[in-house]
């Protein structure tokens, strides 16, 4: 079978949104017969999970130099502000270390961000290799391509154009971004393969029915993903004297936000849980909260969305009109950015309002990897 060199900066044991994709898709491709090698840096000092089963994947780790690996991350666990002055980003020094470790493969997949990794794809193209550019997040159309200086924003547009024009295929994680790219660059080799969920994660889950209504948010609250609107809605519920209600967070919370959350008698902080515990927590919730801040791209679909869908629980969505609402398409209660409406939606769900269930099977990682495999075969 042909071989794939899968290049990514973020890979377990580092944990976070979207990182599981870089394990699950290659793992399922391997099961389909592909010879897959992962190229990724050694984990930095800030690592949330100590052990991970890569199920026999060939993982090639190499040293690198960047703020993450030099320990120059704020004491908030990497929840500080993004560097908007370094182009394309502050991970650019990874490239010489990557090429020192890289072996010859039939095709390469470069998964970004960080978007400096796409430079590796451009170099590989000049060397005569086929490569796929995977946009896990929007670049020009998102916060990561929004720099402080105008000339850097112009460079970002040129850089994205060069990547799209030189890659043999482009994969995005949302249909909306695919449509934007197809209109902007007028190419047919642009595809959508969303994130997904693993059915294995939902096996042998112990289901517990408590007396209180539990609303759960899974993810981090930090300076780039502020919970201000959520806190305002919870304040309304507190004033109304809501009872038999718990709001719990699974993930990291910046201390300044934690102080505000602790003012609510119905708040419960679960902290960072391993994958199985996190899945068990959302399965045993009565409803799930999904948040996109106004600063985030309308084309963003958080990775946890698909695990939320798999639970079949009501989803309360706080977002603008955009890709996420379109994907859920009635499978959520859309509350916009009104604290009053958010609090009302929570009360409505507590009182039994239902949403229709979205068939989850098409978002299972095995199904998504089969689509990926078809694209890769078309390039060989």
Q: What are the pLDDT digits (tens) for 3-45?
A: 999 999 999 877 666 688 999 999 999 999 999 999 999 876 5
**Which pLDDT value is given to residue 73?**
46
Strands (E), the chain: 3-8, 35-41, 58-62, 107-112, 130-135, 169-172, 190-192, 213-218, 245-250, 267-271, 287-291, 315-318, 333-334
**Number of H helices and number of E strands within the chain?**
12, 13
Q: What is the mean pLDDT of residues 177-183?
A: 96
Closest CA to 48 of 252, 270, 260, 199: 252
What is the second-level CATH architecture of the domain 200-350?
3-Layer(aba) Sandwich (3.40)
Closest CA to 145 of 134, 132, 131, 155: 155
And the tokens for 335? 């509350």
**Which pLDDT value is given to residue 18?**
67
pLDDT at 187 over 60: yes
CATH fold of 3-196+364-378, please? Rossmann fold (3.40.50)
Environment class of residue 29 by beta-carbon count within 10 Å: exposed (0-12), middle (13-18) or buried (19+)? buried
Weakest mean pLDDT among 52-61, 276-285, 361-370? 52-61
**Which pLDDT value is given to residue 223?**
87
pLDDT at 68 over 90: no
Q: 306 — phi, psi (to 5°)?
A: -80, -30
**Which pLDDT value is given to residue 113?**
94
**Which pLDDT value is given to residue 262?**
97
Confidence of residue 331 (pLDDT cuts 50, 70, 90): confident
Cβ distance 175 to 192 under 8 Å?
yes
Weakest mean pLDDT among 103-112, 232-241, 328-337? 328-337
Confidence of residue 287 (pLDDT cuts 50, 70, 90): very high
And the tokens for 15? 């944990």
- Listed by start position, the domains of the chain span 3-196+364-378, 200-350
The secondary structure of residue 225, as a DSSP letter, is B
Q: What is the mean pLDDT of residues 208-232?
A: 93
Confidence of residue 81 (pLDDT cuts 50, 70, 90): low
pTM of the model: 0.89
pLDDT tens for each residue of 189-208 = 999 999 999 999 999 898 88
**Beta partners for residue 245, in sequence order:** 213
Q: Give percent of the chain with pLDDT exceeding 70.
A: 92
Q: Which of 138-147, 327-336, 355-364 has the highest mean pLDDT?
A: 138-147
Cβ distance 281 to 273 under 8 Å?
yes
């Amino acid at each position: 079978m042909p071989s794939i060199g899968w290049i990514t900066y973020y890979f377990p044991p580092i944990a976070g949104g979207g990182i599981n994709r870089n394990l699950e898709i290659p793992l399922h491709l391997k099961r389909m017969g592909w010879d897959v090698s992962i190229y990724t840096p050694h984990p930095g000092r800030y690592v949330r999970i100590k052990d991970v089963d890569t199920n026999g994947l060939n993982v090639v780790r190499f040293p690198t130099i960047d703020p993450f690996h030099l320990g120059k991350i704020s004491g908030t666990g990497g929840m500080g502000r993004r560097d908007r002055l370094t182009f394309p980003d502050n991970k650019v020094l990874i490239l010489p270390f990557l090429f020192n470790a890289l072996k010859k493969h039939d095709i390469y997949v470069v998964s970004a961000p960080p978007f400096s990794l796409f430079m590796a794809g451009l170099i590989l193209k000049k060397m005569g290799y086929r490569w796929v550019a995977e946009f896990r997040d929007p670049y020009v159309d998102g916060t990561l391509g929004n720099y402080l200086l105008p000339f850097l924003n112009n460079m970002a547009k040129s850089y994205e154009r060069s990547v799209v024009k030189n890659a043999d295929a482009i994969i995005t994680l949302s249909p909306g971004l695919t449509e934007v790219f197809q209109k902007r660059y007028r190419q047919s080799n642009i595809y959508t393969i969303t994130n997904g969920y693993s059915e294995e994660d939902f096996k042998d889950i112990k289901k517990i029915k408590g007396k209180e209504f539990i609303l759960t948010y899974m993810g981090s609250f930090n300076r780039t993903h502020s919970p201000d609107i959520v806190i305002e809605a919870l304040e309304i519920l507190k004033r109304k004297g809501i009872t038999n209600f718990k709001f719990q967070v699974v993930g990291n919370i910046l201390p300044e936000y934690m102080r505000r959350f602790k003012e609510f008698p119905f708040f419960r902080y679960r902290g960072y849980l391993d994958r199985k515990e996190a899945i068990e927590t959302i399965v045993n919730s009565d409803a799930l909260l999904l948040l996109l801040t106004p600063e985030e791209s309308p084309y963003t679909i958080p990775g946890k969305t698909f695990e939320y869908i798999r639970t079949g629980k009501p989803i309360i969505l706080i977002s603008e009109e955009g890709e996420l609402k379109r994907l859920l398409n009635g499978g959520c209660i859309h509350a916009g950015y009104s604290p009053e409406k958010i609090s009302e939606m929570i009360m409505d769900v507590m009182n039994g309002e239902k949403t229709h269930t979205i068939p989850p099977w098409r978002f299972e990682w095995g199904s998504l990897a089969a689509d990926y495999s078809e694209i890769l075969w078309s390039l060989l």
